[in-house]
Structure 1
Amino acid sequence: MTGNGGEAAHATADREIVISRVIGAPRDLVFEAFTQVRHLSRWWGPEGFTTTTRSFQFRIGGVWDFVMHGPDGTDYQEWITWREIVPPERIALLHGEFRDDPNAFESVLTFEPAGEQTRIVLHTVFPTKELRDEAVEKYHAIEGGEQTLRNLAAYVEGTVR
């Protein structure tokens, strides 16, 4: 028996990336690491990347305009608009290279308590299968996402507390 939720999930399956990790810190601390640029700049991005923020407003409709600097010297222009913020449970965002990027993708982060730890799930849906495949093959989105969550874990487990 399949309801609308099952059909909707199936309709986007070929455009999705889902990455999760259990982090050894309470949910409030893990959530906080996403809410302040002083935290984000210390862990955001895959291994070897650094981040320079041009502007940051963590509120619904607010923007994080930043540049990710790759270890090879390549700069990646990034633009995130916060669409939903439910402390400390959920953040929804639209992520592209610039405002109104037609290839921007939607991500939802959920923060689930797991005793003294937190399970974070990053669920991303791209506009097309081709854009998802390009992100995976050209930009190594799955490995990069896993590395980013590993950086987050190392940061909150060792620094925030």
Structure 2
Amino acid sequence: MDNTENRTMRIERTFNAPIELVWTVWTEPDHIKNWWGPTGFTNTIKTMDVKEGGEWLFTMHGPDGTDYANRSVYKEIIPHKKIVFEHFNPHFITTVLFEADGDKTHIKWSVMFDSSEIMKAIIKAHNAAEGLTQNCEKLEKYLSTKISLS
């Protein structure tokens, strides 16, 4: 049996927003650029073709001015249910599950690396576990601005 637990970061959150809105801010470049990444990072989206086999190319701009080019390919898209993408350099698979809970949305977000050693190195080098938490916090804050506009 392949043990993925020792090489996977996970986070779960319930957002005070309907699933349609949460899905939209995950799948449209004009939204995701405003919340994706750790605190202090901004994004320039080059391509975001949210379909199986579609590419997501973007640059994350760090608070220190460093640019980080990112390339992912979508592996599975089930509207309002699931997004799976493969990220390259470093290599990992991200899976996000969406579940409606009345006017709220629960997500389960996992990032699976090729090995526990690679995961530990990425966490150490980039504070990735904290970055995942900050990403959720930024998403929550962004969703609250969208809810207040509706």
TMscore range, shorter length: over 0.9
Share of identical aligned residues, percent?
Answer: 34
Return the TM-score normalized by structure 1.
0.87
Q: Which runs of 4+ in 1 moved over 3 A?
A: none
Q: Which residue does 2:14 correspond to in 1?
A: 22
Matched, 1:52 2:44: yes
Q: Which residue is 1:13 aligned to?
A: 5
RMSD of aligned Cα (Å) = 1.3
Aligned residues: 148
Hey, what does 2:115 align to over in structure 1? 128
Q: Which residue of 2 aligns with 1:138?
A: 125
Is the CA contact 1:19–1:142 (under 8 Å) kept in the aligned structure 2? Answer: no
C-alpha distance in 1, partners of 2:16/2:72? 27
The answer as to 2:99 corresponding to 1:107 is: no
Q: Within 1, Cα distance between the matches of 2:129 and 2:12? A: 11
Letter in 2 for 1:58: V
- Which has the higher Rg, Structure 1 or Structure 2? 1
- Judge conservation of contact 1:19–1:123 (CA < 8 Å) in 2: yes
Give yes or no for contact 1:105–1:127 (8 Å, CA) kept in 2.
Answer: yes
- For 2:126, what is the secondary structure of its paired residue? coil
Q: 2:143 matched to 1:156?
A: yes
Give 1:129 shift: 1.1
In 2: Cα distance, 1:151 partner to 1:139 partner: 18
Specify every segment of 5 or more residues in structure 2 that has no aligned partner in the other structure, as ranges: none
Given that residues 21 and 121 in structure 1 are in contact (C-alpha distance below 8 angstroms), is that contact kept between their aligned partners in structure 2? Answer: yes
| TM-score using structure 2 length | 0.93
For residue 108 of structure 1, report the CA deviation from its aligned partner. 0.5
